[in-house]
Amino acid sequence: MNMNINRCQDCGNIHPRQPCAAQPVKFIWPYEGKEVLIFGSWNLFQVGTKLIGKKCTLNLAVGQYEYKFLVDNHWRYLQNEEIVHDNHGSHNNIIQVLPKRAYQIFESNAKPLIRLFEMADEVIGSWDNWSQPIKLQKRYNQFKLCDEYYTYIDLQEGRYEFIFKRGKEYFHDSCQPTISNAFGKKNNIVVVLINKTETQELDFNNIYWTKHDLLYHTFDHIYGHSMTSIGNQFYIFGGAPSRNEIYKLSFGDHQLNLEETEGEMPRPRAYHNAIAYGDKILFFGGVDEHSILNDHFVYVTSAKTWYLAKTDKKWTERERASLTFYAQEELVILFGGYYLSPDLEVELIYNDVYYMNIQNMQWVKLNINNQPQPRYGHTAIQVNEKMYIFCGKNQDEYFNDIWMLNFETVQWQQIQTLGVAPEPRYGHTTNLIKSKICIFGGRNSKSNRLNDLHLFDFTTNTWITPTQYGQMPSPRYFHAADIYNEEQLWILGGNIGLKRNEHFYIMNFGKQEETTQVQQQIQQQQQQQQQQQQKQQLI
């Protein structure tokens, strides 16, 4: 009997209907070399990956791996990193990929949260060599609809083990990551990642744009679409005018290919929302030529299959709302949006919040006081337990304010900022790069398209306006943008008037001389691809 086994494109394993545990891991070759490839035990050293600008990012499952570099046809390893013998008279580097539920700390005063959803008195852990129990506090969790017992602990970067105590009983939480201990039982683990050193590598005061051609396919016009990164490509879906195809844009060779899919496809739509989780993308709502859509479709990238997700509808119809994913609680968060009745008699703009559990697809309204003004065409970014809302508009006003919803306290707060804020707008994009939130483009109150870029540092609540170099994108709104390699912003499409959407743009941090090498390598790859296409045509 023939069986089709769909392996995850990120980790190579089979985990149907489960989010992928693969982690993006960055590798850097800091020395000389014209052509650098990396080989590793994740695929038995069989296939190498070429480094672009001496950097690459691979998606690896949790575990320990050996690796080495092939530099101009010579095997090399990093002598200042951890090594093991390779049984061939040399060495391999080794790397430990941490569990997915790592607690990332961006703010200098942030502390990891330790909690569980059953009664406990204290927690004790390896952070102080198991010497001093810490008393737990109690509060009601509105998302789990039960009490939680919690504490915040000031921890340095690293991995820590811990267990809970109730009376004289010690126990672990089976719903959290665990590791076997020396007594034949299990401890929970928490991984703390501090991003301060990484953000110092980037020059946030200068950015450099490069313009690139789309290979194989181009768009006459596309706006109101989505662009979502999973694995080593972006998935581009929908958009005006009247699209429901899904394309893949490759990071390496810039090929734009139409995906051949199975299952029930969504109707054509624009101004929808897209959320990536594991190897899946959840698409919500949007508008077609006749009505507002409030359906939920899931695209499984590893299986190239669509399915319609059944949910309970508990909200009023809307479009141009924002959608974020709160990973810690596995919740999709919906805020704001716009409604116009089919007879054009009723116009509504919202400022309410709904959340949906990604496992059971059940929507619940979250009642909060002191919320932002109603708006649509805004953007939202989730940073751990905090959701930031940027800009947007309603019938009377365009906004350039910032609001933050803290899901631990379930309270809104308007952020008082430093620096020069961007002018009010809607139809812009917002993306998270390290500890900065990047806003690009949009449309202002005078109906002018914009192509300015601003960075918001949420650790200091400060706006940064970097100096821009290179081939900047033309002014646009309702374009799509996403992040590659944790430090590049890719922009595609948008409403740019009568011009064709034949190109996309990449933003790098730094001045021109710092990004020239990366640009040259990308151009070389494009030239090689075009030469291969010409040879195939001759054959």
DSSP letters, 300-362, are: ETTTTEEEEPP-B--S---BS-EEEEETTTTEEEEEEEEEE-TTS--EEEEEEEEEEETTT-B
pLDDT of 22: 55
pLDDT of 190: 86
Beta-carbon contacts of 449 under 8 Å, excluding residues fewer than 6 positions away, are 441, 442, 443, 474, 475, 476, 477, 495, 496, 497
What is the Cα–Cα distance from 425 to 441, expressed in whole angstroms? 8
Beta-carbon contacts of 438 under 8 Å, excluding residues fewer than 6 positions away, are 430, 431, 432, 453, 454, 455, 489
Give me the residues of the chain with pLDDT under 50, please.
1-21, 100-102, 108, 196-200, 514
Give 347-371 as a 3 state SS string: EEEEEEEEEEECCCCEEEEECCCCC
Cβ atoms of 123 and 151 within 8 Å: the answer is yes
- H or E stretch covering 423: none
In this structure, which topology does domain 23-97 adopt according to CATH? Immunoglobulin-like (2.60.40)
pLDDT of 194: 64
pLDDT of 420: 96
What is the Cα–Cα distance from 300 to 297, expressed in whole angstroms? 10
How many angstroms separate the Cα of 162 from the Cα of each of 74, 126, 136, 153, 206?
A: 45, 6, 13, 12, 43
Cβ atoms of 189 and 161 within 8 Å: the answer is yes
Which architecture, in CATH terms, is 198-524?
Answer: 6 Propeller (2.120)
Residue 517 sits at φ, ψ, to 5 deg, of -60, -40
What is the Cα–Cα distance from 123 to 237, expressed in whole angstroms? 46
Strand runs labelled E in 202-304: 206-213, 226-230, 233-237, 246-250, 256-258, 262-263, 273-277, 280-287, 292-300
Instruction: State whether residue 481 is helix, strand or coil.
Output: strand
Task: Report which of 342, 346, 405 is spatially closest to residue 378, judged by C-alpha positions.
Answer: 405
- Let me know if the fold of 23-97 is the same as that of 198-524: no
On whether the pTM is more than 0.75, the answer is: no
HSE (CB half, 13 Å, CA atoms) of 283?
32
Q: Report, in angstroms and rounded to the nearest whole number, the Rg of the chain calculated over CA atoms.
A: 24
pLDDT of 528: 67
Domain residue ranges of the chain, discontinuous segments joined by +:
23-97, 107-194, 198-524
pLDDT of 330: 85
What is the Cα–Cα distance from 296 to 309, expressed in whole angstroms? 5
Q: What is the largest CA-CA distance in the chain?
A: 79
Cβ atoms of 395 and 347 within 8 Å: the answer is yes
Which residue is it, tokens 């195939």?
A: 536
What is the Cα–Cα distance from 358 to 169, expressed in whole angstroms? 33
pLDDT of 424: 98
The angle at the Cα of 360, spanning 354 to 363, to the nearest 5 degrees, equals 15
Q: Name the CATH superfamily for 107-194.
A: Immunoglobulins (2.60.40.10)
**Amino acid letter, residue 526:** Q
What is the Cα–Cα distance from 222 to 507, expressed in whole angstroms? 20
What is the Cα–Cα distance from 315 to 333, expressed in whole angstroms? 12
pLDDT of 277: 84
The angle at the Cα of 393, spanning 239 to 456, to the nearest 5 degrees, equals 85
What is the Cα–Cα distance from 455 to 436, expressed in whole angstroms? 6
pLDDT of 13: 43
Beta-carbon contacts of 107 under 8 Å, excluding residues fewer than 6 positions away, are 458, 459
**Amino acid letter, residue 503:** H
Cβ atoms of 421 and 390 within 8 Å: the answer is no
Instruction: State whether residue 211 is helix, strand or coil.
Output: strand
